Every structure is written in C-alpha cells, then in structure tokens.
Amino acid sequence: MTSSPKSSIKIHEQCLVTPSPSDQTHLSLPLTFFDFFWLKFHPVERIFYYTLPLPLSNPSFFFDNVVPKLKASLSNTLRHFLPLAGNIVWPSDSNMPFIQFNPGDGVSLVLAQCDDDDNANFNQILEHNSPREAIKSRNLVPHLESSDSFAAVASLQITLFPNNGFSIGISTHHAALDGKSSTMFIKAWAFICNLDENEKFPSLEPFLDREVIKDRNGLNSFLINTWAELSVNSNKRSLEIMPDLSEPMLENSVRATFELTRGDLEKIKKRVLSQPIDSSSKPTTLSTFVLTCAYVSVCIAKAIEEAEGEKQKFAFAFTVDCRARLESEPPIPENYFGNCVCSHIVDTESEDFTKEDGVVLVAKKIYSEIKMLNNKEKRAIDGIETTMSRFVSLLSEGVKAMGVAGSTRFGVYGIDFGWGRPSKVEIVSVDRGLTIGITESKDGKGGVEVGLVLNKHVMGLFSTFFHAGLCFD
C-alpha cells in the first residue's frame, strides 16, 4: 500500500473497471445542446458515506470481501451504462465532440484507506452544523481526467474508514450527464450489488437515444462557438476543463451541512405568504425548493456582506429539469440518460438579498421564474443562448453569483448497496463556486439538508443568520 499525494489517504489500488461482456462492442453517442452548455464546466462530485460494523469494516475483510462485490456489481452495471465507461472525444474529421466507448474502455476506480487521524473524525463528518476543513472531502473524490484530446465521463473512489465505515466518491463530466442521470446510475449499481444478480431493472434502465432532443435552432453550433470564444486555450477544439471554472476554493474555507426541518420550512412559508409585496405573481403556496433557495441564499448574502464590511451585489441561478417541460415528439422519457437541464438566472435586483425582507423578495421572484417555466407558452430552454454571456457579464461587474446543485427528489438516502442506507450524502463540488448543495433529509420527514463551503469567518456568520432567522413563530 503506497501513500497518496492526497494527505491522510493511502492508495490500496488504482484500476480500470470495464463493463461485463455484452453484445455491444462499440458505442458513439452524440451530444445535445443540453450537453454542450456544460462542455468545459467543472465535474460534478458527490460522496456517499456508509457506516459499517465490524468485522465488515476491518481492513482485511473489507478489501477481501466487500470491495470485490462492489467491483463485480459495478462491472455488471456499466454494461447498461456504456457512456460512463467511455470518453468525450473530438476527432479532426468531426464537426462536433461526442461520447465514444470502445472495447477495453472503463471507469477509473481508486481504492483507498483513511489514516488514523481522519478515521477518528468519521463521526464528525456525519454530523450537521460541524464545520471542518473543506479540503478534507477533496481527499475522498477522484480526479476526472481531461485534456486537449479527450475527457473522461466518470471516475470513482471507494475509501475505507477502518472499523467505522466507507465512502463512495464519484466525479462525473457535466457534459455527459446531469444529476438525475448520475443518481440513476448509482441506484442501478446499488440494486445489482444488493441482489448480486444480473437482472433487468426497468425503472433504472437508461434511455440512451439522443435523437429525442431536436436542435431546431442551431444551438449546438452556437454553444460550441461560445465555448471557443471563452477559452484561453489556443486549441479551440480542446476538451480540457477550463481552469477558471474548475478550481475548488479551499484556502481558509470550511464545509458544513445544515438542516431545514419540515417545521422550519412551514415557518418560512408562512412568513413569506403573510407579507404583501407588489408583484404580478401572488403565490398561495411555495415549494420546498423555492423556500430553501430563498432562505439560504439570503443568509449567505448577509453573511458575506457583513464579513466584507461594505455593500455587495448578488445574483441567483438554478437549473430546471426539462424532461417533462419540452414539447417533444416523442416525449423525453423520465429515464433519459444525459443532460436535460437548463440554467436560469432569477430576475432579482442585486440588493434584494440583503434587504430586511430579502427572503420574501427572493422567494417570490424564484417562484415567478419557475411559474413562467411551467407555462407552455414559454419554453424551458428560452434564453439558453444568452445565459453564459449574462453570467460572464455579472461576474465582470463584481456580482457574486450564487447557484444550487442537487435535488430533494433524487432519493439519495435510499441508495443501499446491501449494508444499509447512507449515513450522509455530500455534494463536494459546491466548493467550486458559491453553490448551495441540497438533498432530502436523511430522516425522510420532508426536510432539506443544505451543504455549503464558505470562508471560515463567513460560515460562522452564516450559521448565526441561519439559526436566528428560524427563531420566530
């Protein structure tokens, strides 16, 4: 066992897991405009933490018995999810990059073990409201390769915390799949691992036909050209992730998870709906998503502004699942595997977030944006051509852009590989921007877990605003 360059982690093995034998030996899958939007965006990274009793979490038993089962079931799962075992490529004779799988391709898998210091902190990792160094989670997610000539679609890391449990870290290329598709894969892997059988799983079988998404407005070429204009690489066909969009913000940063219970959300909803405000949209109810994004983004903004000691400008954006929103024939199925999300910037004033009634203002504006997206007269992809340029413009004006990753609808706390459900699920890549990570609460009672990475001082202020704002009837 050799030491990893990542401190506190020892690498047990690094290997390539290929799909189990199947009839299909080659696959080429085109990218759609939903994919091209994220072409050089940073990877999406998540960690699933599992508690394991002894002797399962004993190193010898774990690597000799648990890991082989995980690897075998991973191989069996990949035969259904061939794009994950491939790469994004852009041959010189092709106008567009695409996903390619060839025999021998596979997913990079790192098997690792935590040292004694980090292992002793396993229980702290699982706690809420317990900030820890942001870099610690980085040790548990694998690197995703990208270069001028290719970009890997996915990579995995299984890390043992001796006598405590283990984690599964996954990095995926956002130009190949969205969060819903990534979760579909993890669920399928757990299903096969749990049953130890190579069975069909209709509800988790991916739909790979990209032809259901039609490029009627030339968005494919437009987005490819937009990335070429933004790239600092002289090779405009390079598939390397853009450095400015990929580096985690780790210096003096901490990572923490907060929870909004069902009761907390009801308090926030009552507060928002009870305060009249000039608006063409007067909601009678508000979703968990709207309430969470409004409340947390306002707490972040107020914390940053107080830490900076001067007025700041903020904006908020979110992605919307377009599977059921596009008027497509045939319709896009729920198990469509790839990207089918579109990013939207909420029409807020930059000062709304730090006003006394900021939660009310922001909640109603997020609600209005979603209401328009649900209107069939306004397609969910309207404005996709200008979204990137609007982001660049906002950043150049010094606006701090906040976003959101994850969903309370993915059901991540139900993913059981055969040794129990996750003790915690973490979206690691929120450290690559001012991003709110959300999942459903582990207890299944309708609450929301919120994951953040912020400057240590800002996190302390955020915690104060977050808890103080819930202390009302």
Catalytic residue positions, numbered: 174, 416
137, 47 Cβ separation under 8 angstroms: yes
Q: Which of 13, 426, 19 is nearest to 185 (CA)?
A: 19
- The 3-state secondary structure of the chain reads CEECCCCCEEEEEEEEECCCCCCCCCEEEECCHHHHCCCCCCCEEEEEEEECCCCCCCHHHHHHHHHHHHHHHHHHHHCCCHHHHCEEECCCCCCCCEEEECCCCCEEEEEEEECHHHHHCHHHHHCCCCCEECHHHHCCCCCCCECCCEEECEEEEEEEECCCEEEEEEEECCCCCCHHHHHHHHHHHHHHHHHCCCCCCHHHCCECCHHHCCCCCCHHHHHHHHHHHHCCCCCCCCCCCCHHHCCCCCCCEEEEEEEECHHHHHHHHHHHHHCCCCCCCCCCCCCHHHHHHHHHHHHHHHHHHHHHCCCCCEEEEEEEECCCCCCCCCCCCCCECCCCEEEEECCCCCCHHHCCCHHHHHHHHHHHHHHHHCCCCCCCCCCHHHHHHHHHHHHHCCCEEEEEEEECCCCHHHCCCCCCCCCEEEEHHHHHCEEEEEEECCCCCCCEEEEEEEEHHHHHHHHHHHHHCCCCC
